[in-house]
Amino acid sequence: MFGSTYTNYVGVSIKHGTRVAIVVTRILNPQTNTAHKPRDDGSARATACGSLVSATHDRTRVVSDETVQTSAVIKRCGSCFDDVTGY
């Protein structure tokens, strides 16, 4: 017999809501080497400026902001990034 000291772990609740260490992601259009900001609704395939919404999903890539910042070839979308001018 297992006796009455058996501990039932079913029912342990997992706390939600703590957001830490979120990796900043950008949506890259490989055809133009342009990085866009993702929308805030959690979709990884929709850009803040909407320019890639009609593009087929396999033509876009999700990259980290660090990749965009350090890349010599990736441009940042002027509509998504306020600090980009002349594009």
Name the residues that contact Zn ion, by CB under 5 A.
36, 47, 49, 51, 77, 79-80
The one-letter code for the residue type at 39 is: R
Q: Report the residue number whose CB is nearest to Zn ion.
A: 77
CB of 60: closest distance to Zn ion in angstroms? 11
Rounded CA-CA distance 4/76 in Å is 63
- Nearer to Zn ion (CB atom), residue 1 or residue 44: 44
Choose among 23, 72, 78: nearest CA to 49: 78
CB of 46: closest distance to Zn ion in angstroms? 10
